[in-house]
Structure 1
Amino acid sequence: MDESSSPHASRRDLLRGAAAGAMMLAPAAAHAARDGDLAKVQAAIRNDHEANLKRLRDWIALPTIAAESRNIEEGCTHMMQLAREAGFQQVERVPSKGIPGVFATMDNGAKTTLGLYFMYDVKQFDPAEWSSPPLESRIVDRPGMGQVLIGRGAVNQKGPESLVLAALQGFRKAGAKPPVNLVLVAEGEEEIGSPNFAEIVRSPRVLAALKKCSGIIIPASWQSPVDGGVSVNLGAKGVIELELVVTGEAWGRGPAKDLHSSNKAIVDSPAWRLVQALQTLVSADGNTPAIDGWFDKVRPLTPREKALIADSAAKRDQAHEMKQMGVRHLVDDLPWQQALERLAAMPTVNIEGLVSGYTGPGGKTILPARAVAKLDMRLVPDQTYEDCVAKIKAHLVKRGFGDIAVNVSGGYDPTETPEDSKLIKAELAAYERAGIKTSIYPRLAGSWPGYVFTSAPVSLPAGQFGFGHGSGAHAPDEYLVIESSNPKVMGMDDASAAFADFLYQVAVIG
């Protein structure tokens, strides 16, 4: 198709304009643009579309699922190969007490170094819930979106990470050096709460490399389908993942093995005991944590944070976001701005799964000997993972539930990055040059292990950044837009090209 008649032509022209604009901003960017490097990189990305798409599809076909111990070494080896192919000169496997990670460096002789955080593990999936097989990466037409790729990891996180890899491949194919040095740290157990990632990051060689970085980003593809806008988060909530287990044996009451349900008249039920314990963790409506001391260290929103949320609320489309979530009401039917304040400020206690006894077709009249609840808790500043785990256990013991096993699988502290940091300034400048509307939001309601970068001993700004759109993380039919029919949202090629432009802005700001 003639580029001038392509639906993506206006976006490509805009990106070329961004390169021209960069010439007026700083000598380093002007020199790169004068040599035509960025234009060559963008052309290389477009010409390599099929290879870049295949890279993502091959990656999705190899799922690393930490919770199932699936493809642990295979995923690590594949991540190392992707890093080498992208131009990282030094790539190594970093062992930990659990799942290994990957550490890689790319020296481009630049003055500025940027850190990249990748995760190569994905959430579990049930193929029966998907409209197409979750590992086949089929391309389908989606009204209002264009052609999208459906697959586990499409948006969380292999898709956005593949856009970065495509940008780096573009530099290689164009014979150009990225304008910044790069340090990559990748893990294969984020989806179980990154229990060993701090060990990887704080190992001597990795820590020394990260200390040279101006900041660290996790790739994201979160453009709004409504207006193409992006929220720039100044942090993220922390998380605890655990399961509560009640058994007749540990309790000393109830059956030692599943029993005929007629005996309920005279035998205690572990399942009901678990329900009673869960009810103590939250308010009657289930929406506010009621764990002893849970709010002791919760820091209220500052006036500046409230102002940022008000601005964000004005720029975001409530109806669209609710439709995307599949909900018709918010907690307490709060007004949109108040709901977004609660989203940023409220710690949570959530039941991920609740299992006991028979769950197959029909009924099975048993009194189960075991009941399990899988929970996650989101933490806000100034809560900490260790303090909150201790409070959960103490809360249960105080109420006579000391027999309930609290099996913590992972988690970490909240993370924060200053609004005036160079990293945030570079993000905002890159979005502005690409013509993308932005709002700043105090913290992501979800979680990623950015705390290990923002806290000592690394102590760097860190956040999410990227272009394009995808949705359905952790859910069936997770997708990433490949060829966008929405002029406000970038497809795969343009999103990769825009990331290349972002690297020049990082170099300009330092």
Structure 2
Amino acid sequence: METDRRGLLGGAVAGAALLAPGAATAQGGDMDKIRRAVSAGHDEAIARLRQWIALPSIAAENRDMDKGAAMMAQMARDAGFQQATIVPTDGAPGVFATMDNGAAKTLGLYFMYDVKQFDPAEWTSPPLEGRIVDKPGLGKVLVGRGAVNQKGPESAMLAALHAFKRAGVKPPVNLVLVAEGEEEIGSPHFKQIVERPEVLAALKKCSGVIIPAMWQDPTTGDFTINLGAKGIVELELIASADNWDRGPTRDIHSSQKAIIDAPAWRLVKALDTLVSEDGNTPTIDGWFDKVRPLTAREKALIAESARVRDSADALRQAGVKKWIGEESWQATLERLAAMPTVNIEGLVAGYTGPGGKTILPAKATAKLDFRLVPNQTYADCVAKVRAHLDKRGFQEIAVKVGGGYDPTETAEDSALIRAERATCERAGVKTTVYPRLAGSWPGYIFTGAPVSLPAGQFGLGHGNGAHAPDEYLLIESTNPKVMGYDAATAVFADFLYQVAAIA
């Protein structure tokens, strides 16, 4: 593939900034060697990412999970991990790998090798091809399922480790990698991987854990450091005659609605009790009992984010015209951080093809996700959904729980967050600190007992479209404020030096 990397770090002010003094620097010009190695390995790294995207391990479909774990383990070995083993669970297998560089500090890496489902008909280029196309205003992007969530950023971290090998430079920290294949269904078995004695012992040696990300703002190049993430519950509510002495046991003619109850309407009525009249505030009994209000410091961080981030630009990127309630930008960002949510992912009942079919469906299903904030817990919230429905006479509505986990939090003054900030400063990237990501990842496994480490997402560069058609990762940037793939890869290398230096 032909590339124009404009002095390696194409589309990034970081090219010069990474040469500037900082909290830590590589010894004897090693960082220069690593940057040259990143450039030399560019085509190889992109080919590796495209090969990874071509294998779609999809937990929800139980598709290629063993192959996905095997590829993950081999990629770890190829990047320099001395050992990488496949870890069985009651679900999809995980991977545990270690790299001993004789360093004083150890960093944990969390990877996921699974991706969301996709419908090729909704994509403008094949979702498993990893085709590189021009995206106006950004540059050349790689389009594929998993491009930004999460294979692209993870591949850049692996590319950084390959660059260390190519340059003949030993990474400044030891590494522990734990990877799973069920993040996209709520990580139901990830705890089984982490709590294995050998994995837990290795993680306890770490100073922190990150999941690689590429989250620069595509317009300004700014980066937000999140001090945590919301938790999540994923479940289905199912209405049918299985648990009900009403309604049809099979689809019947819709004329019978005059005398027979409809599971679809029963489900709609149950769903309506979960939220306020406008659908925007949870009304589940006791849902807010344990919710911790924003602290004064969190409100201050949000106020600063509101000052430097542009509401109109955020609306444009989200593809919407108005925020809920049309409140102030600061109030909107406070809501984003502090409001637990009840979301309908999908509704399925009866016939949905062309034209009408005039049936009374025997079954109706709603797929929901609930985002949780401190101090809510996964187990307590699942129990509250069941109790809420039972109290209102919906005992027959089945609650089929998929997966999920608690919220996660990391201290602002932790060494991991300070290393993230130092890396961004050296790269010349403006940062803001935000209380928590509105999305979710199973960081609670690391921040909670028995691991009890700081953990978060980190990485520069840019991508978008997670879970959606035409998911993409920026490869060559035309915006000098936003890093392309090579620049982001070099930043991961520099981040390891900051982790090594900051106590």
Tell me the TM-score range normalised by the shorter chain.
Answer: over 0.9
**Match of residue 99 from structure 2:** 106
How many angstroms does 1:249 deviate by?
3.2
Partner of residue 160, structure 1: 153
Aligned pairs (5 A) from 1:256-405: 256-405=249-398
Relative to 1, partners in 2 of residues 1:484 and 1:366: Cα closer, same or farther, differing over 3 Å?
A: same
- Cα offsets for 1:63-87 (capped at 9, x unmatched): 1000000001000000001000000
TM-score when normalising by structure 1: 0.96
1:13 aligns with 2:46: no
C-alpha distance in 2, partners of 1:96/1:109?
31
Q: Is the contact between residue 117 and residue 185 of structure 1 (CA under 8 Å) also seen in structure 2?
A: yes
Tell me, what secondary structure is at the counterpart of 1:139? Answer: strand
State the alpha-carbon separation in 2 of the partners of residues 175 and 324 from structure 1.
41
Please name the residue that 2:186 is paired with: 193
Map Cα deviations across residues 391-437 of structure 1 (whole Å, 9 max, x no partner). 00000011000111100000000000000000000000000110000
Select the residue among 46, 55, 68 that pairs with 1:62. 55
User: 1:91-134 deviations in whole A, cap 9, x for unaligned?
Assistant: 11111111110000000000010000000100000111111110
Report whether the alignment pairs 1:46 with 2:39: yes
Q: 1:182 aligns with which of 175, 192, 195?
A: 175
After the TM superposition, which residues 93-172 of structure 1 pair with which residues of structure 2 at under 5 Å, given as runs?
93-172=86-165
Distance 2:308 2:75 in 1: 37
What displacement does 1:320 show?
1.6
What is the one-letter code of the residue matched to 1:261?
S
SS of residue matched to 1:432: helix
Question: 2:412 maps to what in 1?
Answer: 419
Task: Work out the number of aligned pairs and report it.
Answer: 501
Q: Is the 8 A contact 2:157 2:212 kept in 1?
A: yes
* Equivalent position SS for 1:396: helix
Query: 1:11·1:494 contact (CA, 8 Å) conserved in 2?
Result: no
218-227 or 454-463: which moved more?
218-227
Cα deviation per residue 1:113-159 (whole Å; 9 max; x = unaligned)?
00000001000001111111100111111111000001000000000
Aligned residue number for residue 460 of structure 1: 453
Deviation at 1:38, TM superposition (A): 1.2
TM-score normalised by the chain length of structure 2: 0.98
- In structure 2, the residue matched to 1:497 is 490
How far apart are 1:36 and its partner, in Å?
Answer: 1.8
For residues 285 and 115 of structure 1, do their structure 2 counterparts lie closer, same or farther at Cα, with a shift above 3 Å needed? same
Query: For residues 493 and 449 of structure 2, what CA distance do their matches in structure 1 show?
Result: 30
Distance 2:125 2:203 in 1: 40
Distance 2:124 2:447 in 1: 39
Contact 1:16 1:39 in 2 (8 A): no
Where 2:46 maps in the other structure, the secondary structure is: helix
Distance between the aligned counterparts of 2:492 and 2:49, measured in 1? 17
Counterparts of 2:75 and 2:17 in 1: how far apart (Å)?
26
Q: Deviations 1:272-322 (Å, cap 9, x if unpaired)?
A: 000000000000111000000000000000010000000011111211211
Task: Give yes or no for contact 1:15–1:498 (8 Å, CA) kept in 2.
Answer: no
Q: Which runs of 5+ in 1 are unaligned?
A: none
- Distance, in Å, in 2 between the alignment partners of 1:444 and 1:471 is 15
Aligned residue number for residue 484 of structure 1: 477
**TM superposition outliers: structure 1 runs of 4+ over 2 Å:** 1-13
Aligned residue for 2:432, secondary structure, equals strand
More helix by share: 1
Letter in 1 for 2:163: G
Whole-Å separation in 1 of the counterparts to 2:11 and 2:339: 43
State the shift of 1:37 in Å: 1.4
Deviations 1:204-231 (A, max 9, x none): 0100000000000011100001210011
AA in 2 matched with 1:238: G
Sequence identity of aligned pairs in percent? 68
Paired letter, 1:259: I
Q: Distance in 2 between matches of 1:9 and 1:451?
A: 35
Report the RMSD for the aligned CA atoms in angstroms. 1.3
User: Unaligned 5+ residue runs, structure 2?
Assistant: none
